[in-house]
A and B are shown apart, each in its own frame.
Chain A
Amino acid sequence: MAEGVKPRVKVPKTASAGEVIVIKTLISHKMESGQRKDGDGNVIPRSIINRFTCDFNGENVVDVTLEPAISTNPYLEFEATVPASGEFKFTWYDDDGSVYEEIKKIAVE
């Protein structure tokens, strides 16, 4: 089980219609690769976040498949177009079945 998972997302609060914004996301997660061994030489089982998606009002922005080679506390940065006011929904899927969600509203002036 992954503990202390906390998503952090940086999205501007306002934008003009059609503007391109940069979104930065980070989620604290140990991302155990399944390659490491503990002090007794036993392999520590894999525990990673295997998928991340970002949608705006139900339309997809990015859908990323993450593998064990992604660093601890996975960081992702990408660009999105903002057609109108609405909300960005960020979803992280954990190996253990947990799903972490974060919602950020953005207003178009």
Chain B
Amino acid sequence: MQLTRRNAILMGAGAILMTGLPLRASAAGEDAIAAFTGGAEVGEGDIKLTAPEIAENGNTVPIEVSSDSAAEILVLALGNPTPAVATFKFGPLAASRSASTRIRLAGTQDVVAIAKLEDGSFVKASTTVKVTIGGCGG
């Protein structure tokens, strides 16, 4: 197919249609991130998110977050009906800035962890988890 202006417009419209639904689903996630960071820029760096590549059962997916200098870590599941999962705040007696838990995932999606570091900056890690059986009912 020759790339004419008309074709380019058609392709663009198709792309918008295809991404329309996921865009709406992740808007709540972006809101949650903005509420946590206060609109600050989120970089990459000192944060690790461990989750299985494939989860057979979305009802209980083990995850682990860790960061050496985080004061708080927010975990989000962007494809869930409500994206918030948990917020970990570490006190003076926390030996490491890490925690494990088990979460529910509605389907295959990105799980995101955002850490607020002690210097006030934010870093992010994300991983995609493939879910065979969703875990949010419905």
Contact = CB atoms under 8 A, between A and B. Distances in A.
A72 B89 contact: no
Q: Which of A60, A64, A71 has the most CB of B within 10 A?
A: A71
Main secondary structure of the interface of B (DSSP, over half): strand
Nearest to B60: A71
A72 B93 CA distance: 28
Interface of B: 59-61, 77, 80-96, 98-105, 135-138
A62 B138 contact: no
A79 B94 contact: yes
Contacts, number: 107
Given A78-B96, A79-B98, A81-B95, 8 more contacts: A35-B137, A60-B92, A64-B99, A67-B82, A69-B103, A70-B85, A71-B102, A79-B96
Contact of B87 (A35, A65, A77): A65
Contacts of B89: 62-65
A68 B82 contact: yes
Interface in A25-40: 33, 35-37
A70 B86 contact: yes
B19 to A, nearest CB: 24
Interface string A84-109: 00000000000000000000000000
A60 B101 CA distance: 19
Given A59-B91, A60-B93, A70-B104, A35 B86 contact: no
B49 to A, nearest CB: 15
Contacts of A55: 91
